[in-house]
With several copies, the nearest count.
Chain A
Amino acid sequence: MEIQVFFFGVLAEATKTAFKHYRGVTSFEELKMRIGDDFPEISHYNYRIAVNNELVYEDPVLKEGDEVAYMPPFAGG
């Protein structure tokens, strides 16, 4: 399936990438490994992951067209 991945804040800067399509994704776990291979620098940062605007606390079941966001600690206000 095809998944859209977004990086925010310092992660967008570190990866030099705000947005990347992943095709042929088989699972969330597999997607995370591909992202880790493409952007090893993200391992130096704290982040949380959201799928379709919702924080995930364990690996979710992905479906075609889902949005996955890598988000550093929030800093609004």
Chain B
Amino acid sequence: MSYKILVNGPITRKIMSSILASLAKNTDAGGHSVFIGQVRADIRGAKRVRAIEYSAYEKMAETEAGKIKESILAEFNDVKSVEILHSVGIVMVGETSLFVLVSAGHRHHAIDACSRVVEMIKATLPVWKKEIFEDNSAMWKENSLD
């Protein structure tokens, strides 16, 4: 499968910048909605998060990402393209672990579809995360509904 969503380590500024560089090719797109998820320095009790370690069922994650993409393109006929990148491995506080970009003819479709993609990622991608604290202890974390 050539479609590859998983990135080892953080999604760097270089990666994001090269994706932004490709936007101008879509001359029928009027709006791009981007979601960037990054690791937050959350406090759990007396501990502060310093990184998240992501793991994934890689084959299934690629399959599920492909399904998300197809379902969005089927539902929003104004959407021109959907890009999804998700980290596996260690991502430090402040670094990016998720990058979603939806291009559409009109802004509402881009924004609504991007928001939907983010929800579908949380619900259907077989990815797991372990918060690593400044004292190097760790805790598995499930997604909340926030």
How far is A9 from B118 in the complex, measured between Cα atoms in Å?
A: 21
Select A69's contact among B57, B86, B143, beta carbons within 8 Å.
B57
Q: Assess whether B60 is in contact with A69, with CB atoms less than 8 Å apart.
A: yes
A43 at the interface (CB under 8 A from B): no
How many pairs of A and B residues are in contact by the CB < 8 Å rule? Answer: 70
Listed stretches B7-15, B16-24, B74-82, B119-127; interface member: B119-127
Among residues of A, the one whose C-beta sits closest to the C-beta of B62 is A53
What range describes how many residues of B lie at the interface? 20 to 34
A10 at the interface (CB under 8 A from B): yes
How far is A76 from B122 in the complex, measured between Cα atoms in Å?
A: 5
Q: Please, which residues of chain A bring their CB within 8 A of the CB of B123?
A: 74
> With A8-B126, A8-B128 as given contacts, are A77 and B57 in contact (CB-CB < 8 Å)?
no
Q: Please, which residues of chain A bring their CB within 8 A of the CB of B57?
A: 6, 8, 50, 53, 69, 71
Q: Please, which residues of chain B bring their CB within 8 A of the CB of A8?
A: 55-57, 126, 128
A residues neighboring B (CB under 8 Å): 6, 8-10, 12-13, 50, 53, 69, 71-77
Q: Give 10 pairs: A residue, B residue, CB < 8 Å, sorted on A.
A: A8-B56, A9-B55, A50-B57, A69-B126, A72-B128, A72-B142, A74-B125, A75-B128, A76-B122, A76-B129
Given contacts A12-B55, A76-B54, 4 further A-B contacts (CB under 8 A): A76-B86, A77-B97, A77-B107, A77-B127
B residues neighboring A (CB under 8 Å): 37, 54-57, 59-61, 63, 86, 97-98, 107, 118, 121-130, 140-143
